[in-house]
Structure 1
């Protein structure tokens, strides 16, 4: 597995020991997420837009409407894409040393709009399967009109950084004697019981690929 790039903007200036340089770690962080935040400049103003995405090898596919100004502006400039997972709240004895356990990825680059029909369909499949694995094979595929109504951007993962914080609080030595609880409150994302569409015809069960994601 190749290492992550090392550029002026991907090298961590603060707490560099929290950096990960293994590209497989970047892939896991991206694959564990569902929504990224796409930072672009639109009409001279910065915008950060929650965006559905999916990864195929070292390409990130971003999905949106052809009417979205953020996706129209993306291919003409460098953008920044971020994905963050909150894994726990770190509660220290002092307020100053409270923290968060997290995994984060930042990707820089100039995306390209996907015009090739086959790659565009692949990009949409990758996004769909990242959100709901197995759904692409059971739902109706997009029509030509629907394909024309959506945009897909492709962003290389060549320039990216990863930062991770794990573990408990780090208090000042004198504060360890305080009678104040300290530790980590874990944070987990779970899926609840599927809620059927009221217009669903009787007798159609929840597909296995959806039922398996429900947290017992």
Structure 2
């Protein structure tokens, strides 16, 4: 099995293996080993940050990603040139969603409601044409479902110029914070100050046509339906 001997716990379902890199040390109550939480965090976004050391310099680079359930695909970049060349460098890929500001009665207890996942490993450069095309389809459909079948597909020259990396989801760490401040039952509750959560909502807006687009070209249904909907 891809996730090793502790992939499943009775009564819990699929879980993430734990090792020195994925073990929760701080704020352990916010840690999760549920594989379903990792899947949900990845499904809710499309931008990740890739941390890698290139020529002795640490770099953290934002890029788009797509996930097929077992593999995370993401674009290569200037920062990951050594990865594309050799595929031997360890990376840490992070996806984070901010759900709100936790406003307590004391500044010390302020915090953030969030969902975050870190995936560790050595990414594999995708070079085989069919797999690269499939990986790019996964990446495209993850962020804009329906666009792969609507727009022109990449040609051989464009595929050759595109760097795509694949990273297994086998080694990952998840943390989630939800709920109100933690000082409601402490001494600061007597201060008479407002406390609670300021939620953050992300919503797609109205489509903005290309200025040179002919007026008779309408947006496809898969894009029109996403207007004014939650991310």
- Normalising TM by the smaller chain, what interval? over 0.9
**Superposed displacement of residue 71, structure 1:** 4.2
C-alpha distance in 2 between matches for 1:69 and 1:81: 13
**1:150-179 Cα deviation digits (max 9, x unpaired):** 111000010001000000001161110112
Structure 1 residues not aligned, in runs of 5+? none
Contact 2:97/2:116, CA 8 A, preserved across alignment: yes
Q: 4+ runs of 1 displaced by more than 3 Å?
A: none
TM-score normalised over the length of structure 2: 0.89
C-alpha distance in 1 between matches for 2:116 and 2:23: 14
Matching residue within 168, 175, 199 for 2:212: 199
Q: Which has the higher contact order (CA 8 A, sep 6+)?
A: 1
**Superposed displacement of residue 79, structure 1:** 0.5
Alignment of 1:78-157 (within 5 A): 78-157=90-169
Contact 1:71/1:153, CA 8 A, preserved across alignment: no
Instruction: Count residues in correspondence.
Output: 214
Contact 1:52/1:64, CA 8 A, preserved across alignment: no
Q: Which residue of 2 aligns with 1:52?
A: 64
Q: Which residue of 2 aligns with 1:73?
A: 83
Q: Please tell me whether residue 214 in structure 1 is matched to residue 211 in structure 2.
A: no
Q: Which residue of 2 aligns with 1:181?
A: 194
TM-score normalised over the length of structure 1: 0.95
**Superposed displacement of residue 73, structure 1:** 2.8
Matching residue within 8, 23, 31 for 1:11: 23
C-alpha distance in 2 between matches for 1:32 and 1:97: 28
Contact 1:61/1:123, CA 8 A, preserved across alignment: yes
Contact 2:41/2:117, CA 8 A, preserved across alignment: yes
